[in-house]
Amino acid sequence: MKKNLLLIIACTIGLMANGQSSDTKVTSTKSKPTKSGQKNLMLNVTSIRKTVTPKTLTVGCDTLTNFDFTTMTPTNYTVTTGGYVSGQNFYGDLAKADVFTVSNNNSTVDGTYIVFGTGVSSGTGQTATVKVWSDAGGLPSTELGSATISYDSIAAYAANLTEMWVDFTPDIPVSAGPIYVGVEFSYNAGDTLSMVTCADGEIATGTAYELFSDGTWHAYSETVSWGLNVTNVILPVICTATGINEATNVGGVKVFPNPAESLISVQVKKYDNSTVRIFDVTGIEIYNALLNEMNTTVDVSTFAAGLYLVKVEGKDFSYSEKLTVK
């Protein structure tokens, strides 16, 4: 069934050169469905761009994105008959995803950032599933791996319009070529989500796909779908085989407990002239110390909850391990 709905005309808030905000109402003269964007998303462009800086080569990973934070408009499309274009809606869509190209074989998906425009939780413990799919004929196909996220967490990130980090444990192996990353969801009373996209036409060829209620995948750009050329704000982190989990542990390094809440112990058999450094997910170094004994205690109680990289280096070895701080 063609999704030929009338969408509410878009309203966004822009930032003027002097830092003041100005309301801008976007109108459309098209006979096709007009579009609807949620206010305040534009206000968060700067913080989104700042906090999702791609991982550096130091940790052997790259952050992929189809969304250009310098030119595209964060938008949350709604449907007049109920729901969201890039979330649950009147049509009963089951999943939303974006396509990405992996450059190298023997790679893994470490996790992904997602920016949710809407998040409402019923408080009943319901979850959605973030998935990675393979490609078959230009559409998502076999599920390669997944992680569950709660509607409570979705609601919290959507309320602040900040990107949510979803970690895949273990990392999901992928080969060179197209993969799809997105969110699969069900319909439960009181639980709602939608993802942020760019505005229609800001990307020449749309990269967004959706799973219809009949189990078939379609591009948003198809006439049977929305007829929109957009991209979701999804940023998967792809690591090579020589990335953060692949180093040979010749230094006899142990990092525990992991996950951690307050203190971690870093044990190194070859501690002489060795260093321990800790990086956040953006590749910024937040801790650096010279090891002078076999067992070193590091206070992580002031670290924000999330994923970090512990890197221990000595004269003849280098070891890296992901650390989760609760």
Residues 99-145 pLDDT 10s: 999 998 878 898 999 999 999 999 999 999 999 999 999 999 999 99
pLDDT for 244 beyond 50: no
Does residue 94 sit in the same domain as residue 225?
yes
Residue 123 placed within a domain: yes
CA gap 241, 108 in Å, rounded:
7
Tell me the percentage of the chain whose pLDDT exceeds 90: 48
Distances from the Cα of 281 to the Cα of 207, 238, 257, 310, 320, angstroms: 25, 12, 19, 11, 13
292 or 212: which leads in pLDDT: 212
Q: How many CB atoms lie within 10 A of CB 65?
A: 18
The CATH number of whichever domain residue 313 belongs to comes to 2.60.40.1220
**Which of 239, 272, 290 is the C-terminal boundary of a domain?**
239
Does the pTM surpass 0.95? The reply is no
**Which of 204, 239, 274 is the C-terminal boundary of a domain?**
239
Predicted local distance difference test score (pLDDT) of residue 131: 98
Predicted local distance difference test score (pLDDT) of residue 39: 31
Does residue 35 sit in the same domain as residue 134?
yes
Whether the CB-CB separation of 184 and 144 falls below 8 Å is answered with: no
Residue 5 placed within a domain: no
Q: Please name the residue that has the structure tokens 């701080």.
A: 325
Predicted local distance difference test score (pLDDT) of residue 218: 96
CA gap 150, 205 in Å, rounded:
32
Does residue 210 sit in the same domain as residue 63?
yes
Does residue 162 sit in the same domain as residue 283?
no
Give the angle subtended at the CA of 163 by the CAs of 188 and 148, to the nearest 5°.
Answer: 40
Residue 15 placed within a domain: yes
Over residues 42-50, mean pLDDT: 41
Whether the CB-CB separation of 95 and 195 falls below 8 Å is answered with: no
Residue 248 placed within a domain: no
Question: Pairing state of beta strands 21-25 and 177-184?
Answer: unpaired
52 or 41: which leads in pLDDT: 52
pLDDT for 217 beyond 80: yes
Does residue 283 sit in the same domain as residue 147?
no
pLDDT for 53 beyond 60: no
Does residue 28 sit in the same domain as residue 96?
yes
pLDDT tens digits for range 1-29: 545 444 432 333 222 222 222 333 222 22
Q: Please name the residue that has the structure tokens 């791609």.
A: 54
Predicted local distance difference test score (pLDDT) of residue 322: 82
Q: Where residue 302 falls among pLDDT bands split at 50, 70, 90?
A: very high
281 sits in which H/E element: none
Residue 95 placed within a domain: yes
Q: How many CB atoms lie within 10 A of CB 27?
A: 8
Give the angle subtended at the CA of 203 by the CAs of 28 and 41, to the nearest 5°.
Answer: 65
CA gap 218, 180 in Å, rounded:
13
pLDDT for 72 beyond 70: yes
Residue 110 placed within a domain: yes
Q: Which domain holds residue 22?
A: 11-239
Give Rg (Cα) of the chain.
Answer: 21
Q: Please name the residue that has the structure tokens 């070529």.
A: 177
Mean pLDDT is lowest, of 2-6, 19-23, 80-84, 254-258, for 19-23
pLDDT tens digits for range 158-197: 998 888 989 888 889 999 999 999 999 999 999 999 999 9
Does residue 54 sit in the same domain as residue 138?
yes
**Which of 213, 239, 265 is the C-terminal boundary of a domain?**
239
Does residue 281 sit in the same domain as residue 219?
no
Please state the domain count of the chain: 2
Does residue 232 sit in the same domain as residue 285?
no
Residue 3 placed within a domain: no
Q: Where residue 241 falls among pLDDT bands split at 50, 70, 90?
A: low
Residue 1 placed within a domain: no
Tokens of 208: 């967004």
